[in-house]
Amino acid sequence: MRDPGRPGDSPREILLHLPDGQDFSRALEALDRQLSGADPMDVVVDIGTRKLSTRELLRLEEAISRHGSRLLRVTESPSRKGGSTLRIVGSSGSRHREVVEEESQRPSEDFERTLLHKGVLRAGQMIKYGGNVVILGDVNPGAEVIAGGDVVVVGTVRGLIHAGARGNSAAIVVALRLDPVQLRIGRHFSRRPEDGPTEEGGPEMAWVQDGRIVVEEYRSDVRRR
C-alpha cells in the first residue's frame, strides 16, 4: 500500500542496501562510508530480508543523521514469501515519523485479517494494514491509522483514521470517543465528523451513509449494508 497524501517533497532521495547475511554492525559501517562526504539526503534503506530491532533502527538512524541526512524509510526486498511481516519504518528530521507498518503479501486474505495494537498510538506513528485494525489505546494528534478494513479504537481518536483505504466505503470506524482531525472511509472524507462527537458517554461509530460520513452512538445491532 502506498502512503496517501504524503507529498514527494524533500531534497534528494537515495536508496542504500543493507546486504543480507552481513553482520548488522558491518553493514552499518559500509553504509556510513557511502554517506560520508555526501550532501544531506533523504535516505531510503533497503534491509533485504533482515528484521531490524528497535535498537538497530535507532542505530541506523543515528548513523545517517550523523552525516546530516535523514532516514526517510526502511523497505524490504520483496523476496520474502507469504504471510505478513510486521516492521518498523522510521525516518528522522524535523518531521520525524516512526511508523509501525504491517503489510500482507497476500492481499486477497487481507479482509479477514485483524491487527491488534496495544498502547497509545503517538504523534508521528502510523499503522498501515490491509485488514482490520484494533487499537487498545488512544490515537493521538499526529498519529495515523490506515486500514483496508474496519478500525476499532478502544480509546479516544484525536488523530487521522482511514478505514476501507482501498476504496471500501462499507468499512466502519468504532471508537470510545471520536474527535479526529480527519476521518476517511473509502473515498469519503470529513474534516471532523459532521455530527460532531456525541455527548460524553457510550462508544461512537462512523460510516458512510448517502455518500457522506456520519457519526452516531454505537449500537451492537448496527449491521453493515
Partner 1 sequence: MGTALVVTSGKGGVGKTMVTANLGVALAELGKLVAMVDMDVGLRNLDIIMGLENRIVYDLNDVIDGQCKLQQALIMDKRFDNLYLLPAAQTRDKSSITSRQMRELCAELKDRFDFVLLDCPAGIEHGFTVSVAGADEAIVVTTPELNAVRDADRVIGLLEAAGHRNPYLIINRVRPRLVRRNQSLRVQEVVDILAVGLLGVIPEDERVVASMNLGEPVVLYGGEVAHAFRDIARRMLGEEVPMLPVEEGRGVLGALRRMMGIG
Site membership for partner 1, residue 169 (CB under 8 A): no
Distance CA 22, CA 6 (A): 33
CB closer to partner 1, 92 vs 190: 92
CB closer to partner 1, 36 vs 220: 36
CB closer to partner 1, 88 vs 170: 88
Characterise 44 by phi-psi region: left (phi > 0), alpha (psi -120 to 50), beta (else): beta
The CA-atom distances, in angstroms, between 140 and each of 36, 79, 111, 205 are 37, 34, 25, 18
- Taking the complex as a whole, the smallest distance from the CB of residue 208 to partner 1 amounts, in Å, to 28
Neighbours of 164 (CB within 10 A): 23
- Taking the complex as a whole, the smallest distance from the CB of residue 19 to partner 1 amounts, in Å, to 24
- Taking the complex as a whole, the smallest distance from the CB of residue 62 to partner 1 amounts, in Å, to 5
Site membership for partner 1, residue 182 (CB under 8 A): no
Residue selected from 17, 87, 113, 137 as contacting partner 1 according to rule CB under 8 A? 137
CB closer to partner 1, 54 vs 105: 54
- Taking the complex as a whole, the smallest distance from the CB of residue 126 to partner 1 amounts, in Å, to 11
- Taking the complex as a whole, the smallest distance from the CB of residue 124 to partner 1 amounts, in Å, to 4
Distance CA 192, CA 181 (A): 6
Nearest to 122 by CA among 135, 136, 138, 134: 138
With the CA atoms of 23, 24, 29 and 31 taken in that order, what torsion angle do they form, in degrees rounded to the nearest 10? Answer: 120
Site membership for partner 1, residue 55 (CB under 8 A): yes
Site membership for partner 1, residue 140 (CB under 8 A): yes
- Taking the complex as a whole, the smallest distance from the CB of residue 63 to partner 1 amounts, in Å, to 10
The CA-atom distances, in angstroms, between 59 and each of 13, 36, 125, 220 are 20, 16, 18, 46
Inter-helix orientation angle 54-65/24-35, to 10°: 20
Radius of gyration of the chain (CA): 19
Distance CA 104, CA 131 (A): 9
Site membership for partner 1, residue 88 (CB under 8 A): yes
Residue selected from 40, 142, 197, 203 as contacting partner 1 according to rule CB under 8 A? 142
The stretch among 3-11, 76-84, 114-122, 207-215 that binds partner 1 (CB under 8 A) is 114-122
For partner 1, the binding residues (CB under 8 A) are: 54-55, 57-59, 61-62, 65-66, 88, 92, 94, 96, 98, 119-120, 122-125, 137-138, 140-142, 156, 158
